[in-house]
Amino acid sequence: MLAHSANLVTEKALIGIPRKKETAPVLASQKQIETSCVIIDANTSPKLEEVRVEMANMKVESRPVELLTSVGSCVAICLHDAMNKCGGLAHIMLPTSNNPLLEPLPSKFANTAVPALAKAVREISGNDIRLSAKIAGGANMFANLGPNSLDIGGKNVQAVKAALALHKIRLEGEDVGGVSGRRITFNTHSGIAVVKSFRGASRIL
Amino acid sequence: MNKQINIDATSEQGNVKASFSEQSQVDSGILLELGSIGAGHAATSLSDVIQQPVTIDLPKILNLQVHLIPSFYNLHEVPTIGVFLQLMEDNGCDILLMLELSEARKIAAMMTMASSIEELDPSMETSAIHELANILIGSFLTAISDFVGMTLLPTTPQSALDTFDAILDTFLVKQSMLSESALIFETRFKRLGEDAKCILMIFPSSELRNQLIQKSKTLLNL
């Protein structure tokens, strides 16, 4: 049926009879679609797989993935190996473990998570590789949590910085403190961490 | 034998602990019953305020390892208003009311008689939500304190607007300083026909728990 009508058109064209102009009614909404342009974002890269790191956990990846976590008064520590393009992320809850050597969950405390994460990254990349660190978190959302609470966010940040200095890992970027929580995505390939706070714009570390 | 091991394994993975001892089963039964009384009263007063039917889920007592709680709720980046109160006599007891932002706005608009959400003034919104928390938690605590004959008064509310995980995080950190696992008493309120939830979480301190259980036991001649 389609082929037949197409033939008819060509025949008409050959003979040279002017075709009657098609004046199908065009709806306003259809016009809109025709005229609107398609916006192509130059920064849109093929999306990487997102891997969520739960609270008091850590993950190390040699594949290029986006490690993702959200923190309030906790702190996210991202370690990156620029040579081998791999890295890991730890989500810590508390500043110091009382029993650092026998801690069942080392990724829960700042002073045990930093060596554990560094060790896990170095298992992929080799022993004497230089690592760089980026940290985010340590917010204090409620001004007054009652008399027996302290500024845990600030203490977490201090403890993480101390642990990084102790293990000779350079701190490349930080986004800490404040009153709002953060969502962190860490690209294990490029080492770029994007920190998005709930109210503010996203910040690239 | 195998079955026993399975139960232990699931409780370690963060499911609700299935293996309470006989004594603690009675105790948690008492706490649940007290909570149900409170939740019923709270739902009634919420329904009075917004002039709409409100349903509640059966209250639950969760005893989970602290770091597994965010994945248990699985509401990671949902915008949430968290209202936080404590008991005046007992600083260890945190009470947290988690409202999905869109739902909180709707309820605030109903309370302030605003014709739409857009008309709502931000400061009015905050104040309405604080008031909602006061009413809800106030009637919850009054019902319990009437029953056991203890005075339970809440402090003034504070609120924060953020993602679900970020708000919960603060309280979990506080709990994890005390022990490995957290005991949470939880009820969910829902407006009829709406999907958005409003979660009331209470982290009772061990002293408060013991007091409540002792008082109830003497009342019930147990």
Q: Could you tell me the CATH number of the domain that includes residue B169? A: 3.40.1550.10
* Inside any domain, residue B13: no
Q: Which tokens sit at B86?
A: 């404590």
**Which band of pLDDT confidence, cut at 50, 70 and 90, is reported for residue B1?**
very low
Q: What is the pLDDT of residue A148?
A: 52
Residue A166 lies in a domain: yes
Is there a single domain that holds both residue A21 and residue A65?
A: no
A99 domain-assigned: yes
Show which residues on chain B lie within 8 Å of chain A, measured between beta carbons: 66-71, 76-77, 79, 82, 84, 86, 91-92, 94, 155, 158, 160-163, 165-170, 172-174, 176-177
Query: If pLDDT is split at 50, 70 and 90, which confidence band does B110 have?
Result: confident
Asked if residue B1 belongs to a domain, the reply is no
**A64 and A162 share one domain:** yes
- Separation of alpha carbons A27 and A31, rounded Å: 6
Contact of A48 with A190, CB cutoff 8 Å: no
Q: Is the pLDDT of residue B31 over 70?
A: yes
Indicate yes or no: CB of A181 within 8 angstroms of CB of B76.
no
pLDDT for residue A75 is more than 90: yes
Residue A148: CA count within 13 A, CB half-sphere: 12
Mean pLDDT, rounded, for B168-186: 83
Locate the chain B residue with the closest alpha carbon to A198.
B162
Residue B210 lies in a domain: yes
Examine residue B5 and state whether it is found in any structural domain, yes or no: no
Are A79 and A155 contained in the same domain? yes
In a domain, B9, yes or no: no
Task: Please judge whether B67 and A56 are an interchain contact, meaning their C-beta atoms are less than 8 angstroms apart.
Answer: yes
pTM of the predicted protein model: 0.76
Tally the domains of chain B.
1
Contact between A147 and B91 using a beta-carbon 8 Å cutoff: yes
Look at residue A164 in the predicted model and tell me its pLDDT: 92
Task: In whole angstroms, give the CA distance from residue A174 to residue A205.
Answer: 7
A196 and A151 both lie in a single domain: yes
The reply to whether A23 and A57 lie within a common domain is no
Number of domains observed in the structure of chain A: 2
pLDDT beyond 50 at B14: no
From the CA of B73, how many Å to the nearest CA of chain A?
A: 12
Q: Examine the pLDDT at A55 and tell me if it is beyond 70.
A: yes
Residue A180 and residue A102 in one domain: yes
Find how far residue B58's CA is from the centre of its chain. Answer: 12
Q: How confident is the model at residue A4 (pLDDT cuts 50, 70, 90)?
A: low
List CB contacts of A59: < 8 A, sequence separation 6 or more: A51, A53, A67, A88, A89
- For residue B160, give both structure tokens: 């924060």
What's the domain range around B194?
20-220
Query: Is residue B14 domain-resident?
Result: no
Q: What is the pLDDT of residue A159?
A: 92
CA distance A141 to chain B (A): 7
Give the pLDDT confidence score for residue A146 in this predicted structure.
Answer: 55
Residue that wins the pLDDT comparison between A143 and A71: A71
CB B173 within 8 A of CB B94: no
Q: How far apart are CA B203 and CA B182, in angstroms?
A: 7
pLDDT in tens, A79-91: 998 888 889 999 9
CA distance B164 to chain A (A): 9
CB pairs under 8 A between A and B: 93
Q: Are residues A30 and A63 in the same domain?
A: no
Q: How far is A199 from chain B (nearest CA, A)?
A: 8
Whether A70 is covered by a domain: the verdict is yes
Query: Are B166 and A54 an interchain contact pair (Cβ–Cβ within 8 Å)?
Result: no
Task: Please check the confidence at residue A17 and state whether its pLDDT lies above 70.
Answer: no
Is residue A43 included in any domain, yes or no? no
Residue A45 lies in a domain: no
- Domain extent at residue A187: 50-204
* % of chain B exceeding 90 in pLDDT: 6
A55 CB neighbours in chain B (<8 A) are: 66-71, 165, 169, 172
Mean pLDDT of all residues belonging to chain B = 81
pLDDT per residue over B60-72, tens digit each?
A: 888 888 888 888 8
ipTM of the complex, rounded to two decimals: 0.76
The answer to whether residues A75 and A147 belong to one domain is yes
Per-residue confidence band for B9, with pLDDT thresholds at 50, 70 and 90: very low
Q: Which CATH number characterizes residue A70's domain? A: 3.30.1330.200
Q: Is residue A40 part of a domain?
A: no
Do residues B51 and B110 make contact, with C-beta atoms less than 8 angstroms apart? Answer: yes
Give the C-alpha separation, A197 to A179, whole Å.
10
- Please list the active-site residues of A: 74
Query: Both A27 and A114 in a single domain?
Result: no
Strand stretches in B10-78, DSSP E: 54-56, 60-65
